[in-house]
Structure 1
């Protein structure tokens, strides 16, 4: 005799922990009633065997859009940024005045001794560049079905590409124009070389070949000494300074000696007003082939209230008219830049080969 579910239910619950709320009985041995049955006393399926549903019904699309990360654009943050002119400005003149004079021994009737000033104008040329975004009606509808605001993403791509180009010009200028970069302005004083250090393979100069913070600290002091000589007495230990390091060398700031004193500790104690900035393009690995040597810079932030350096642009972003066609659209966007302007090139010292 076949047992009923009501008889089995208590044992299933107590012995096996199987609790089936709402179940009243087993399915009869003959099966359940189905659609048209080609056989007698049988109820087979009239569709192909299946144990699931189409994957689209159980697929989740995250509303948060994950963007691939790119090398940061830090030139403006490191050297400052300012607007100069506008998008129709092709050249710029920056006046530089030098105060001169000569004294003479005093005499009631003497006309000797004179004061004067000399003016020069430094010329720069701007560089303007553009990019297009284009999208179609069906394209944005299809991407919308994938939970993506495709026009916005393309506009973000255009802005990102323009800013990457601007950052590149800020650092390396434009060949053939009087538009120079922070790292290669021809008016900057010649770079000095790192000091010799003891490494595992003998005498070395690169920071990656040693772990001694005092040895690396010697390079910082040597660069400060070079800057001090260039500034002809203007520089003091309390002068606000900026130290620009290649991002791929920033781990050297964590080098520690036996007393757990790090390189960063040594720098902050001796030069309390020095700010440390990192720049990917100052190194080899992260510069995308624009550099063949790791370099660092130390510069004076301001001299008698005047900034010593700034990056400059004509316009950050100009969005031109949207052009509409039968079923697609496109739009031009543009920017303009002057590169980096060193108002006081002698206020920057560079070391190559760290």
Structure 2
């Protein structure tokens, strides 16, 4: 029976009996209903969304090698320099000599660790939501350790002979960019607008290459393999176009056919959003991969990740993870040129 718009109904016997009131309901014996349980109208998406972090690029910029293991505290790198002199020839002359000068620069190992732990009830409750908590915590350990290792590769460890690509004391002093027509030395304004022309950006990169040629005594040519490292925001300027509709990136590729551009946030200016940045401003480095057949350097680790024993408690579990790093081993410091303030 459908009685649309009917607000009240009375039988024939009482419809004219105005002593009967029909404007109230009897008192409820149960609590007022508030609808069905919310869980019945809630669905959990089986696809887990993971928070992403800035990429780790140190190994991509400089390469990576394993040296030693977690039992060693120090690694030595033999350096040999040939010495000698010649003299005028004489049948009975004994002048002239050659020699070898040896150095043993060192790096110290820094071992670090983290611990993952989880309870039985915790695992079960996470499973109700479709989350494999053990796998997620194992992945978190790998992520945390990898990011810490990346920081060591860039900055080393204070108090140890363990230096990074950005602060090794053996690196040559950084250049200052040329002053731009719009003012200042930066390629972009604080808001991100262009502050330099395409030609000015190209000339800064060319000045860095000129410095690299001078530092290496001409051992570097434009055809050699090189890496140009800068922040992602600075790399945007490589898309600036000059009056001939030529991008900076294309001009660099034409002049340096084996040049590779790699970005890392550590080259950006230090700020609240980028605490690992450079205090002095946006930075870039031009790195020759090899000098006369010898690798310029590499990032070195003693242990990438060591999984220790799983410890079983009464109703929980925990595991230690450890790793070790020597920092950036820059074998030929003069093969790296830097510029700060772009």
Calculate the TM-score normalised by the size of structure 2.
Answer: 0.85
- CA shift for structure 1 position 58: 4.0
Could you tell me which runs of 5 or more consecutive residues in structure 1 were left unpaired when the two chains were aligned.
Answer: 3-45
- CA shift for structure 1 position 53: 4.8
- CA shift for structure 1 position 156: 0.9
Partner of 2:147: 164
Which of 205, 208, 225 is equivalent to 2:185? 205
- CA shift for structure 1 position 108: 2.8
Q: 1:180-222, CA deviations, whole angstroms, 9 ceiling, x for partnerless residues? A: 00000000001110011111xxx22101042411011110111
Q: Could you say what secondary structure the match of 1:183 adopts? A: coil
| Largest Rg, 1 or 2 | 1
Could you tell me which runs of 5 or more consecutive residues in structure 2 were left unpaired when the two chains were aligned.
Answer: 2-28, 190-194
Instruction: Give the Cα–Cα distance (whole angstroms) in 2 for the partners of residues 205 and 51 of structure 1.
Output: 65
Q: Could you say what secondary structure the match of 2:249 adopts? A: helix
Partner of 1:24: none
Partner of 2:237: 252
Partner of 1:270: 255
* Equivalent residue runs for 1:335-354 within 5 Å: 335-354=323-342
Partner of 2:117: 134
Aligned residue pairs total: 310
Instruction: Give the Cα–Cα distance (whole angstroms) in 1 for the partners of residues 85 and 196 of structure 2.
Output: 53
Instruction: Give the Cα–Cα distance (whole angstroms) in 2 for the partners of residues 72 and 274 of structure 1.
Output: 21
Which of 277, 298, 316 is equivalent to 2:304? 316
- CA shift for structure 1 position 235: 1.2
Partner of 1:143: 126
Instruction: Give the Cα–Cα distance (whole angstroms) in 2 for the partners of residues 343 and 61 of structure 1.
Output: 53
Do residues 325 (structure 1) and 308 (structure 2) align?
Answer: no
Which of 85, 95, 105 is equivalent to 1:122? 105
What is the RMSD computed on CA atoms of the aligned residues? 2.2
Instruction: Give the Cα–Cα distance (whole angstroms) in 1 for the partners of residues 294 and 50 of structure 2.
Output: 40
Instruction: Give the Cα–Cα distance (whole angstroms) in 1 for the partners of residues 120 and 264 of structure 2.
Output: 41
Instruction: Give the Cα–Cα distance (whole angstroms) in 2 for the partners of residues 297 and 241 of structure 1.
Output: 10
Q: Could you say what secondary structure the match of 2:210 adopts? A: helix
Q: 1:287-330, CA deviations, whole angstroms, 9 ceiling, x for partnerless residues? A: 42452121110111012322101000000000111111110111
Instruction: Give the Cα–Cα distance (whole angstroms) in 2 for the partners of residues 84 and 250 of structure 1.
Output: 33
